[in-house]
Amino acid sequence: MRLMVTGAGGMLGRDVVAAAALRGDECVGLTRAQLDVTDGAAVTATVREAAPEVIINCAAWTAVDGAEQDEVSAFAVNAHGAGNVARAAVAAGARAVQISSDYVFDGTATVPYLESDRTAPQTAYGRTKLAGEHAVLATSTVHAVVRSSWLFGVHGRNFVTTMLEQADAGRREIAVVTDQIGCPTFTGHLATRVLELARSGRGGVFHAAAAGWCSWNEFAREIFAAAGVEVVVTETTSAELARPAQRPAWSVLGTERSGEVLPPWREGLAAYMALARNGSQP
């Protein structure tokens, strides 16, 4: 399969490119410096030259708090950029696979969100990601959107690296929220699922998050246990942290599609720690 991966310098993008290489796929990975997805003409020309069968768009504005302060710039990447990739794919006879987020939901549910559930983003970031979904799906019925949750991997900053850096700096007590629940998803596992969907030719919306769920507080405890470091994780709330963007209280993604659940989040953490111990750090 001939692939193009945009945002190939990011945490998920790097894992997608690596997983494609292991599968023997022909893959062109383009970082933001190599291709700015907000430049429609550049996207069209690059896709035409590369002639991929599938474009996996991992390019994204991921600064959730930053999007609250500059929604226009976030929209340019997450919505207009996604549309540019989708239209260029159609022009080249290719499919697009767009990576999206649990932030398209309002976070008030008590059971896992399914692909058909009503979207209602509560943040600028969520609005821009949902607009990107609409831009992609309106372009072609063969395009796919893959929503995931709480990503972590060895090729970028994330909650796991933040916790371990705190421990390395000598912190022995850290307050972590208990009122946000989600599915910590290892990008190595997600990358494999994204490639399976790319190969399948199926269009529409797909949820791909780790099986099971936990709070950030519980996740932090598991991280320190897996790393073998003694850090006391105390409880706090989202209100006490008072961040610019509201975080969803419930970020758990389920699926209506049989047999398409990723490995449990604890397995993802174990895989991450194994890679980290072998020196596969960002």
Active site residues: 125
- The residue count for the chain: 282
- Give the Cα separation of 144 and 99 in Å (integer): 9
Number of Cβ within 10 Å of residue 254's Cβ equals 18
Number of Cβ within 10 Å of residue 108's Cβ equals 10
If phi > 0 it is left, if psi is from -120 to 50 it is alpha, else beta; for residue 255 that is: beta
Annotate 151-193 with DSSP letters as a single string: EE-TTS--HHHHHHHHHHTT--EEEEESS-EE--EEHHHHHHH
Q: Which residue in 29, 3, 7 sits closest to 151, CA to CA?
A: 7
